[in-house]
Amino acid sequence: MNDLNKWRDYLRDFAEKREWTQFHSPKNLAMALSVEVAELLEHFQWQTEEQSHNPEPERLAAIADEIADVQLYLIRLADRLKVDIGQAVEQKTKKNEEKYPVEKVRGSSRKYTEY
């Protein structure tokens, strides 16, 4: 069994034991995910891009914790919606290959920034 499925099962059990499944609607989990991502963002808000590549060790440990939180809520949200993350990623990467052909987008961040 791959890691994502192992963690999914772990989180199910974790919530069940605590009787927290009742709070885990997709709406609530999407909010929680959003809050965790902001805690990650917070570490970088006043840093330059260059600084953001080299957080001091204590900060890096805090960032790793937030990355784990985001990963865990994402798995839990997907599970509650019966979305298979592995399958979703495979489909999305195929779409991205088509959307961003190398020849067309090389060296440009333009594609991202259309509005």
Burial class (CB in 10 A: 0-12, 13-18, 19+), 75: buried
> Do the beta carbons of residue 6 and residue 87 sit within 8 Å?
no
Smallest distance, its own copies to C-beta of residue 9, A: 12
Which of 41, 35, 12, 9 lies closest to 24, judged by CA?
Answer: 12
Q: Does 9 bind its own copies (CB under 8 A)?
A: no
Q: Does 13 bind its own copies (CB under 8 A)?
A: no
Q: Binding to its own copies (CB under 8 A): which residues in 61-100?
A: 62-65, 67-72, 74, 77-78, 80-81, 83, 85-89, 91-93, 95-96, 100
By CB under 8 A, name the one of 8, 76, 98, 112 that touches its own copies: 112
